[in-house]
């Protein structure tokens, strides 16, 4: 049986007609950079997200970097972030000469632990990056309250959770990526909303910040050849925007399909005592960018090997947390108690999940996982 971690080929075949036509439209317009397709997609994504400003850029790493640049931080300022995330989240902190402060995650939701965050705040803390990991939001209502008390801006790295809803304690809800001062995302092909190359975007409801983010992404200029601030070149191209616009119209269905896969996995592992299935936090819906289980025993690597032998591509996100990466041992950073992060690096395993998964594939995977523990 052929099982992919993410099946982009079959997903494309289902929307091929729409995508091919949209790409040909861009080719015919030959407005490859800053064409109407980019504005159109930004407008549609903005209305999907509830009216936030959407500033497209070249990828999710740039989005994080530009977000930090917009906060006018100085070398040595501290930025608090989880260590249990993709390298991009912390890489941009180091790149800008800032000091990353690594805090632990909640062991059940895998996202920034608000208690650990509170303990980590120092008089040098100038920003917080919370990560909506694996498809659900971090505990943003609490994180925003902690940050507000100290007037610290918060960036929400939403590369893995686009489409999720944050559920506030007063019953209201907002789309993930729009809760913090600046949200960022990646449109890398395997993301829940992915293009066929690289892409990213920033979100904010603050008009002044939106203007600044737009300028930074465009060489620091608002008026052509007038570079008022230092910026970068970071653009989403028109072909990717046209593809994203089509995929945006399928995003809700894609996220439902991912939830169906997660439900099937949960049911199959109900009686497998060695496995902890993913917890969906009470404050967020989940869009299952990853379906990540925790193996209570020390058999995670053997299970992965067993699955590989059966042709099942399970993966470890992330085998080495950032505070233990060689590159980060060489740059200024501050580490706090990272017990849960270091436990998860040895026990977490992500199973294949995507929009095209068949019942037969699911049965094959769950059978081999459960057999391993018999
Ligand atoms: C949490 C997180 N942040 C940032 C990024 C960076 O996005 P990109 O690869 O588009 O630069 C990713 C992508 O994998 C991610 O998962």
In this structure, are 34 and 171 located in the same domain? Answer: yes
Calculate mean pLDDT across residues 223-245.
97
Single residue among 248, 273, 308 that ends a domain in this structure:
248
Q: Residue 178: give the domain boundaries.
A: 8-248
In this structure, are 192 and 294 located in the same domain? Answer: no
Whether 238 lines ligand 1, by a CB cut-off of 6 Å, is: no
pLDDT for res 9: 97
In this structure, are 173 and 264 located in the same domain? Answer: no
Of 216, 210, 208, give the one whose Cα is nearest residue 233.
216
Q: What is the CATH number of the domain that holds 138?
A: 3.40.640.10
Give distance in angstroms: CA of 171 to centre of ligand 1.
Answer: 30
Give distance in angstroms: CA of 228 to centre of ligand 1.
Answer: 29
Whether 245 lines ligand 1, by a CB cut-off of 6 Å, is: no
Q: What is the CATH number of the domain that holds 344?
A: 3.90.1150.10
Give distance in angstroms: CA of 348 to centre of ligand 1.
Answer: 19
* Confidence band of 335 (pLDDT split at 50, 70, 90): confident
- Residue 1 belongs to some domain of the structure: no
- Residue 197 belongs to some domain of the structure: yes
In this structure, are 88 and 149 located in the same domain? Answer: yes
Q: Model confidence over 52-85: pLDDT tens digits?
A: 999 999 999 999 999 999 999 999 999 999 999 9
In this structure, are 151 and 77 located in the same domain? Answer: yes
In this structure, are 178 and 66 located in the same domain? Answer: yes
In this structure, are 256 and 223 located in the same domain? Answer: no
Q: Model confidence over 31-45: pLDDT tens digits?
A: 999 999 999 999 999
pLDDT for res 1: 85
Whether 237 lines ligand 1, by a CB cut-off of 6 Å, is: no
Single residue among 194, 224, 248 that ends a domain in this structure:
248
pLDDT for res 181: 98
pLDDT for res 332: 86
Of 110, 252, 253, 247, give the one whose Cα is nearest residue 187.
247
In this structure, are 292 and 358 located in the same domain? Answer: yes
- Residue 306 belongs to some domain of the structure: yes
- Residue 316 belongs to some domain of the structure: yes
Whether 159 lines ligand 1, by a CB cut-off of 6 Å, is: yes
Q: Domain total for the chain?
A: 2
- Residue 2 belongs to some domain of the structure: no
pLDDT for res 86: 98
This prediction has a pTM of 0.98
Whether 177 lines ligand 1, by a CB cut-off of 6 Å, is: no
- Residue 125 belongs to some domain of the structure: yes
Q: Determine the atom of ligand 1 nearest the C-alpha atom of 186.
A: 10
In this structure, are 154 and 261 located in the same domain? Answer: no
In this structure, are 170 and 35 located in the same domain? Answer: yes
* Confidence band of 271 (pLDDT split at 50, 70, 90): very high
Whether 111 lines ligand 1, by a CB cut-off of 6 Å, is: no
In this structure, are 92 and 159 located in the same domain? Answer: yes
Q: Model confidence over 138-193: pLDDT tens digits?
A: 999 999 999 999 999 999 999 999 999 999 999 999 999 999 999 999 999 999 99
- Residue 107 belongs to some domain of the structure: yes
In this structure, are 235 and 259 located in the same domain? Answer: no
* Confidence band of 233 (pLDDT split at 50, 70, 90): very high
Single residue among 232, 248, 264 that ends a domain in this structure:
248
Whether 67 lines ligand 1, by a CB cut-off of 6 Å, is: no
Please give, one letter per residue, the 3-state secondary structure of the chain.
CCCCCCCHHHHHHHHHHHHHHHHHHHHHHCCCECCHHHHHHHHHHHHHCCCCEEEEECCHHHHHHHHHHCCCCCCCCEEEEECCCCHHHHHHHHHCCCEEEEECECCCCCCECHHHHHHHCCCCEEEEEEECHHHECCCHHHHHHHHHHCCCCEEEECCCCCCCEEECCCCCEEECCCCCCEEEEECCCCCCCCCCCCCEEEEECCHHHHHHHHHHHECCECCCCCECCCCCECCCEHHHHHHHHHHHCCHHHHHHHHHHHHHHHHHHCCCCCCEECCCCCCCECECCCCEEEEECCCCHHHHHHHHHHCCCCCECCCCCCHHHCHHHHCCCEEECCCHHHHHHHHHEEEECCCCCCCHHHHHHHHHHHHHHCC
């Amino acid at each position: 049986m052929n099982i992919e971690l993410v099946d982009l080929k079959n997903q494309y075949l289902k929307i091929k007609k729409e995508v091919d036509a949209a790409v040909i439209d861009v080719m015919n317009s030959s407005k490859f950079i800053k064409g109407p397709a980019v504005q159109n997609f930004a407008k549609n994504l903005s209305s999907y997200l509830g009216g936030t400003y959407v500033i497209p850029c070249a990828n999710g790493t740039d989005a994080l970097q530009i977000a930090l640049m917009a906060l006018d931080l100085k070398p040595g300022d501290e930025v608090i972030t989880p260590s249990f995330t993709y390298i991009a989240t912390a890489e941009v902190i180091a790149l800008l000469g800032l000091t990353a402060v690594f805090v632990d995650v909640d062991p059940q939701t895998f996202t920034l632990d608000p208690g650990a965050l509170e303990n980590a705040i120092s008089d040098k803390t100038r920003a917080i990056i919370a990560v909506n990991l694996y498809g659900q939001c971090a505990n943003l209502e609490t994180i925003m309250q902690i940050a507000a008390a100290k007037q610290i801006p918060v960036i929400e790295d939403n590369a893995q959770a686009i489409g999720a809803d944050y559920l506030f304690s007063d019953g209201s809800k907002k789309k993930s990526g729009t809760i913090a001062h600046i949200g960022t995302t990646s449109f890398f092909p395997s993301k829940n909303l992915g293009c066929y190359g690289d892409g990213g975007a920033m979100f904010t409801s603050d008009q002044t910040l939106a203007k600044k983010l737009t300028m930074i992404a465009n060489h620091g200029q608002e008026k052509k050849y007038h570079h008022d601030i230092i910026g970068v070149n970071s653009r989403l191209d028109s072909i990717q925007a046209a593809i994203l616009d089509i995929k945006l119209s399928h995003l809700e269905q894609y996220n439902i399909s991912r939830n169906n896969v997660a439900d099937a996995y949960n049911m199959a592992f109900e009686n497998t005592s060695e496995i902890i299935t993913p917890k969906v936090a009470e404050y967020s819906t989940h869009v299952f960018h990853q379906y990540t289980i925790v193996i209570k025993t020390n058999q995670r690597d053997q299970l992965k090997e067993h699955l590989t032998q059966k042709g099942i591509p399970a993966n470890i996100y992330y085998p080495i947390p950032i505070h233990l990466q060689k590159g980060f041992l060489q740059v200024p950073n501050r580490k706090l108690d990272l017990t849960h992060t270091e436990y998860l690096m040895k026990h977490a395993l992500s199973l294949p999940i995507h929009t095209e998964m068949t019942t037969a594939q699911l049965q094959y995977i769950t059978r081999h996982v459960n057999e391993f523990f018999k």
